[in-house]
Structure 1
Amino acid sequence: MHLHLLYEAQLVERYQKGGSIYFKLYYGRLDKDIVMAVVSALLEHNRVIAHDLARLKDIKKQYRKQEKKYFLQNVVQWDTLRLFSIADLGVENALREIVGDKPFETMLDIGRDTASVLKLFSGLYTYAVEVVLDSDILHLSVGNTTFDLVILHWVLYFLESPEVVLHEIAGVLRPHGRLLIVDFVRHEVESSHSYLSHMPFGFSDLQIEQWLKNVGLILEKIICFPPLQNENNERLMVKIWLARDPRLLVDDIKDKKVEFA
């Protein structure tokens, strides 16, 4: 009942992972700080809630360790799934077409295998940073560097809080900078591993668009590749989502006429 009221008030959002329904604070709420202040105050005086949250933190930590161990042990199978769904060459050609041939200054690539993507655009950027999956993506150590192009290449699925990572990326995008996300379209998969069955496989357009909107980015374009069937007759589909920082660079507006009222 309480969760239903919070959901109707848009203080929490509901999402599904596997066969379970979860709730979390709505990331786009302007008054989220107020809600967090109230929650923090409750924690100081409620030992039951504090104990539950501590236990939840331990469970999440165990899940992350198990997920990382599983995927590191099954890199070959993951690559097979990816390559079976759509050849890397097809994705690379689409990325080239979107980015174009106009040189730019800075690029940030976040993925499991970043070398191929950096090589793909090596003739266009002046400076590039690569962040592999094992790094702390929630805290990008890029200093004051901002980027014209950021690519999330087959990595969003592995992140516990994708929207938090997108918020971090939005903070390092230059005005009018571009973000390219490559991943599977949302699809539920059955798994014998309990730490995997709670995870959704892929993402919906609505989910991606909402996350981008929450962090101040605009979804400009979606490229969908034809679905293929795997050995279990599951139709897997890959998409590329192109987002942009709506702010304009000074160079883009300095020659425009400005009228004052």
Structure 2
Amino acid sequence: MSDALSIFRALADPTRLRIVALLRAMELSVGELAAVLAQSQPRVSRHVKILADAGLTARRREGSWVFLTLASPTRTAPIFAAIDAWGEGAAGSDDLARLEAVRAERTAAAERYFAGHAGDWDAIRSLHVAEAEVEAAIRAALGGRPVGRLVDVGTGTGRMLELLAPDAESAVGIDRSSEMLRFARAKLSRQEATARAELRQGDMYALPLDDRSADVVVLHQVLHYAQQPGAALAEAARLLGLGGRLLVADFAAHDREELRTVDAHVRLGFSDHQVAKWFGAAGLTLADTRALEGGALTVKLWLGERPASPVRKVA
């Protein structure tokens, strides 16, 4: 009863109902939320604290920014069902107009950043097969089974979330760069199928997620930046439940030394033997490999799986 009372007390204010409605539409920083509500940040922060104390919202720091998001669906779904039934689920027209202005500003800022760095990605893409072919192979490698809970490590521009999140039960993208996360957030928020994908700042060696919290983990063109690829794969594998899958899309071993200095590649691709060894150490089996040739660099897909039932050790 005390839990229910705290929830209803938290929602017994028009501003807090507006905040909940806005966070259903998209994740917002404290400053953005204050702008949409046309209220001061201290006042908004007080309202947010009440919602957080009731377990309805969560705060997440990303660099110097603090983002607000809703609590887990198990906590909020009954509340939203009641709100929707009463016809109070949507934000007001003025709030929605200001929310669109926030989206537009995010998009403009992110595109300015991306325009200044696009040449880095274009130079690499020119060395291997078309991205459409790589993405088709990724879909094929994961096909035949539900995606379930998806985690994209090193999400960058959020392309893997665009590709896979519409078929997922839930989707989280993690990246160390706050600038890249802002670009991804702006892009994903424009599409209904990916607007609720969650983005978090984090390091590939210490992912901010619980053990067994994912069914599919993807590392797309990330591993060649890792100083310790085995440790990065072990950390990604930690997230997988029984039967979970880890898909790595990266380059086969190559000798393009200039990529070390020009594009900060730490590793010049990987062999099947290396990846299989790291998968094995992380408790995964190498279930599938695919090679996509057609340029100076060969793109490889390695799919690792955690056994669907615990492996019993023979005494």
Q: What range is the shorter-chain TM-score in?
A: 0.5 to 0.7
Query: What code does the residue aligned with 1:246 have?
Result: P
Give the Cα separation in 2 of the matches to 1:153 and 1:159: 12
Deviation at 1:197, TM superposition (A): 8.9
Match of 1:132 in 2: 175
TM-score (norm 1): 0.59
Deviation at 1:75, TM superposition (A): 5.2
Give the Cα separation in 1 of the matches to 2:264 and 2:127: 22
Contact 2:127 2:297 in 1 (8 A): no
Name the structure with the higher helix share: 2
TM-score (norm 2): 0.49
1:103 aligns with 2:146: yes
Counterparts in 2 of 1:62-101, with a 5 A limit?
A: 76-100=119-143
- Higher-Rg structure is 2
Q: Given the alignment, which residue of 208, 233, 241 partners 2:275?
A: 208
1:244 aligns with 2:305: yes
Q: Given the alignment, which residue of 216, 227, 237 partners 1:160?
A: 227
Deviation at 1:93, TM superposition (A): 0.7
Match of 1:174 in 2: 241
Query: What code does the residue aligned with 1:160 have?
Result: Q
- Higher mean C-alpha displacement, 93-102 vs 170-179: 93-102
Change (3 A) 1:138 1:75: farther
Contact 2:252 2:300 in 1 (8 A): yes
Aligned residues: 172
Structure 2 residues not aligned, in runs of 5+: 1-115, 178-201, 311-315
Deviations 1:43-102 (A, max 9, x none): xxxxxxxxxxxxxxxxxxxxxxxxxxxxxx865234332244011100111111122264
Give the secondary-structure state (helix, strand or coil) at the position aligned to 2:270: coil
Query: What code does the residue aligned with 1:130 have?
Result: G
- Higher mean C-alpha displacement, 74-83 vs 192-201: 192-201
1:148 aligns with 2:203: no
Query: What code does the residue aligned with 1:242 have?
Result: L
**% same residue:** 32
Query: What code does the residue aligned with 2:168 have?
Result: Y
Give the secondary-structure state (helix, strand or coil) at the position aligned to 1:157: helix
Give the secondary-structure state (helix, strand or coil) at the position aligned to 2:165: coil
Match of 1:123 in 2: 166
Change (3 A) 1:192 1:215: closer
Contact 2:226 2:267 in 1 (8 A): no
Give the Cα separation in 1 of the matches to 2:247 and 2:292: 15
Give the Cα separation in 1 of the matches to 2:259 and 2:133: 31
Give the secondary-structure state (helix, strand or coil) at the position aligned to 1:95: helix
Counterparts in 2 of 1:47-66, with a 5 A limit?
A: none
Structure 1 residues not aligned, in runs of 5+: 1-72, 229-234, 250-261
Deviation at 1:191, TM superposition (A): 3.3
Contact 2:217 2:245 in 1 (8 A): yes
Bigger RCO (CA 8 Å, 6+ sep)? 1
Give the Cα separation in 2 of the matches to 1:88 and 1:202: 17
Deviations 1:104-126 (A, max 9, x none): 43000012525221121233211
Match of 1:183 in 2: 250
Give the secondary-structure state (helix, strand or coil) at the position aligned to 1:242: strand
Give the Cα separation in 2 of the matches to 1:217 and 1:192: 30
Query: What code does the residue aligned with 2:279 have?
Result: L
